[in-house]
Structure 1
Amino acid sequence: MNPEARDRMSSFIDPSYRREDITYCTNVHPGQSAEEILHNLKQYVSRVKKRRGLSEMAAGIWIGARALEDLQDERMRRRFRECLEVEGLWPTSINGFPYGSFHRDRVKEEVYEPAWDSSDRLRYTRGLAVLAAELLVNAPPRFRKCSISTVPLGFRSSWNASRQVMAVKNLIEAERHFARITSDSGIRITLGLEMEPGCALEKTSDVLLLWQELRAAGLHEAEGIDDSHARGGGVSSHLGLCYDVCHQAVMFEDISESLSLLGEAHIPIFKYQISSALRVLWPSLNESERPDRQPDKMVTLEERLIPFCEERYLHQTCARGSIQPAPSQEGKSEPSLRFYVDLDKALADRARRGEEWRIHFHVPVHLNQLDDSGLYTTRDTIEELLNSL
């Protein structure tokens, strides 16, 4: 990353960062109702805070449409806020991505609905912004901010130009709403689109094109605002990104280059999600003399991957191999990528084994390798991200 791009990207990072700013997100625990989320806050998040030896801590909360409806009740909203304050938990991050249940038997592509061309998505997201400002009304100065993550427009296979136009219109309206809430409350509320494989925004290049459309359509951006998100003459907007590193790893993106391009384009990142995806190194049949590259290991790998296929979530898979060089390339070959919307589709395509697969299946972030059968992780991209900030 060149120094100028690094400076731009650093302008979106709070220089007063402390360890209590790392959040623990409740969406790993089932909880659709406000009552269930309260239980999760006390049972899990508060205990994490105590085990870390902290008196207060930032919290990440998934609030779906049902919980948001519950919290329209004044008494429930007061209970919710008082619980957070008593437990010393400040919701600086809200997961506004899954609208409905995230833990039902089948989620798959339905997690991207309603998409950003829908008035339901706009209304739900606006409601989260109002709620965030109210929940943080008594927060200490360092916690008076909230980043709300959201879907990457919609699912790519059903996306089209007319839906894109409506999504741009709705995003601009959402950004203006977030700006008004921030101005009225004094609490910085931002919206972060979260790139994800198989969606309308799956790569950095998709985001760059979207921001061209947003700016052409009137996205409000102010120069030189002195706050923790845009310092030193940077661009301030209430619309930016939630950057999940494993999503970009699955797409084989160079993380440092991705961040550099976003910095050069003045596109803010309001939230980083540290995660790791599944990585498969297939044996190369023309190197069968190597013990770790035996052809029969192909079958072992296939057997190991079958349990990762499931009915609940999509596990988008990107395969990278080598293509035969064209005559004009003078013997040079380039890596080719093939995308599969789910792991079972990739496994069914037996004729197209690549040298490496990356699968959108979250695995423990501290592991480089799952076992000795060829299953690895994208942990190195986490280090690449941290080294680029």
Structure 2
Amino acid sequence: MRFLHPDGTTVHLGYCSNVHQAEDLKGVIAQLAAHAEPVRERLGVDRLGIGLWLARDVVTELTADEGALDTLKAELGARGLETVTLNAFPYAGFHREVVKNDVYEPDWADEARLEYTLDCARVLAALLPDDADRGSVSTLPLAWRDPWPRVSAEDARHALDRLTTGLAALEAWTGRRIRVGFEPEPGCVVETAAQAVRELGGLDPDRLGVCLDACHLAVQFEHPAAALRRLEDAGLPVVKLQASCAVEAEHPADPAARAALQRLAEPRFLHQTRTPTANGVLGVDDLPDALDGDLPDTGPWRVRFHAPLHTEPEPPLRTTTGQLDHVLAGLLGGPSADCDHIEVETYTWSVLPEPPADLVGGIAAELAWVRDRLTGLGLKEDPS
């Protein structure tokens, strides 16, 4: 879906396909028919954005075979879908039985990460609608925090220089600008806006910036307005917003809250958990660690469990949709649009205590939730 901000900017809204299990081109095309097109029809719109997740093997096929790329583009067009952003955070295996820390490999000290990201940018340049101003690719925030020796940090910085050069060359060749956004995430080298400024400051803002995940921001107990101001002051653009929310337990010592949290402690994905203290924010790397007593339960817990936007979890748990509202208002509620790509990224449907029977309906309801927020901020849906 597209929206017009009062300043004239076109703002793109879609959902991320990493919710679907597909790691070959045939599977990616099948998910467009089985899920994305029905979501568009359920919303009653002529055009729907989809932020594609393309695993390494798919990207390799698309860059090696122009016919395969043409086939994917034709399938998108035939189904009323468009792509202005790719999620290049997971490299492969995102729907294995156990993912956990493997999702951070390869990191930005590894040549494979640079090559994959540039290949994603090449694919996106070919998929972009003719009238789209630019594309975006999101990626991990350099690496998991440990180990991260100085030599790895230096290798990563050199890789970012080469990434900038590669993106500039791609624009010169295709006429399409692709920006890469690094996604701060709890437990990584870049967790917060302050760390993003420290690690990514001084990079070319026309090519590189931040992918802001509202769930991650909430888990770190960052105030949205302060975080956005910090990024703006440092000249780090928000190239994409992932519209997401975390799970919060206001009183984690409450037996009902602990029972509900226990049902979220599933084995596939990592669910970093944080609580505020007098000296800052204290955290553990996974929800089971918190439940085992490694995190104080005297204050609220926030859990990096991407919860559906339009509904509440099992009481007494709640979500951080209020935080997401503040992020949307901070980016799009002012006189200018400070972000033009929004991606709903609830990839956890399959690991909910009660997975939905109607996934298409759930995704459509999330997109409708964001649509209502955007129109409430003064944006107008663009039917063209």
TM score, norm. by length of structure 2? 0.80
Match of 1:135?
127
Match of 1:272?
241
Which amino acid in the other structure matches residue 108 of structure 2?
W
1:222-301 correspondence runs (5 A): 236-282=205-251, 298-301=254-257
Q: CA deviation at 1:205?
A: 1.1
Match of 2:273?
317
Q: Deviations over 1:202-247 (max 9, x none)?
A: 11111111134xx3xxx4x4xxxxxxxxxxxxxx421111111110
> SS of 1:360's equivalent?
strand
> SS of 1:169's equivalent?
helix
> SS of 1:349's equivalent?
helix
Higher relative contact order (CA 8 A, sep 6+): 2
Of 263, 279, 287 in structure 2, the residue corresponding to residue 343 of structure 1 is 287
- State whether residues 23 and 93 of structure 1, in contact with CA within 8 Å, keep that contact through their aligned partners in structure 2: no
How many Å separate the matches in 1 of 2:282 and 2:20?
A: 33
Q: CA deviation at 1:57?
A: 3.1
Q: CA deviation at 1:175?
A: 1.5
Which amino acid in the other structure matches residue 265 of structure 2?
C
Match of 1:206?
195
Q: Does residue 79 in structure 1 map to residue 54 in structure 2?
A: no
Of 12, 27, 37 in structure 2, the residue corresponding to residue 46 of structure 1 is 37
Q: Deviations over 1:6-51 (max 9, x none)?
A: xxxxxxx8943457x2112211111111111111112222222233
How many Å separate the matches in 1 of 2:75 and 2:116?
A: 23
- State whether residues 179 and 207 of structure 2, in contact with CA within 8 Å, keep that contact through their aligned partners in structure 1: yes
Of 73, 94, 104 in structure 1, the residue corresponding to residue 86 of structure 2 is 94
- State whether residues 142 and 189 of structure 2, in contact with CA within 8 Å, keep that contact through their aligned partners in structure 1: yes
Match of 1:66?
57
- State whether residues 284 and 294 of structure 2, in contact with CA within 8 Å, keep that contact through their aligned partners in structure 1: no
Which amino acid in the other structure matches residue 53 of structure 1?
G
How many Å separate the matches in 2 of 1:195 and 1:318?
A: 15
How many Å separate the matches in 1 of 2:79 and 2:264?
A: 37
Q: Deviations over 1:171-220 (max 9, x none)?
A: 111121112112221212110101111001111111111134xx3xxx4x
- State whether residues 370 and 376 of structure 1, in contact with CA within 8 Å, keep that contact through their aligned partners in structure 2: yes
Of 143, 151, 161 in structure 2, the residue corresponding to residue 172 of structure 1 is 161
Of 104, 111, 118 in structure 1, the residue corresponding to residue 103 of structure 2 is 111
Q: Deviations over 1:27-85 (max 9, x none)?
A: 11111111111111122222222333333333210011011122222332221121122
Q: CA deviation at 1:335?
A: 5.7
Please identify the structure whose Cα radius of gyration is greater.
Answer: 1
1:356-375 correspondence runs (5 A): 356-367=300-311, 369-372=312-315, 374-375=316-317
Identity of aligned residues (%): 31
Name the CA shift for 1:18/1:381 in 2 (closer, same or farther; >3 Å).
same
Of 173, 176, 181 in structure 2, the residue corresponding to residue 184 of structure 1 is 173
How many Å separate the matches in 1 of 2:295 and 2:42?
A: 50
> SS of 1:190's equivalent?
strand
Q: CA deviation at 1:123?
A: 0.7
Which amino acid in the other structure matches residue 365 of structure 1?
L
Q: CA deviation at 1:351?
A: 7.4
Q: Does residue 32 in structure 1 map to residue 16 in structure 2?
A: no
Which amino acid in the other structure matches residue 381 of structure 1?
Q
Gaps of 5+ in 1: 1-12, 222-235, 284-296, 322-333
Match of 1:377?
319
Match of 2:337?
none
Match of 1:387?
329
Match of 1:303?
259
How many Å separate the matches in 2 of 1:172 and 1:351?
A: 39
> SS of 1:114's equivalent?
coil
How many Å separate the matches in 2 of 1:61 and 1:386?
A: 22
Which amino acid in the other structure matches residue 97 of structure 1?
F
Gaps of 5+ in 2: 332-384
Q: Deviations over 1:249-287 (max 9, x none)?
A: 00000111000011111111110111110101117xxxx
> SS of 2:106's equivalent?
coil
Q: How many residues align?
A: 326
Name the CA shift for 1:15/1:64 in 2 (closer, same or farther; >3 Å).
farther
> SS of 1:308's equivalent?
coil
Q: CA deviation at 1:132?
A: 1.2
- State whether residues 135 and 178 of structure 2, in contact with CA within 8 Å, keep that contact through their aligned partners in structure 1: yes
Which amino acid in the other structure matches residue 179 of structure 1?
A
How many Å separate the matches in 2 of 1:160 and 1:237?
A: 29
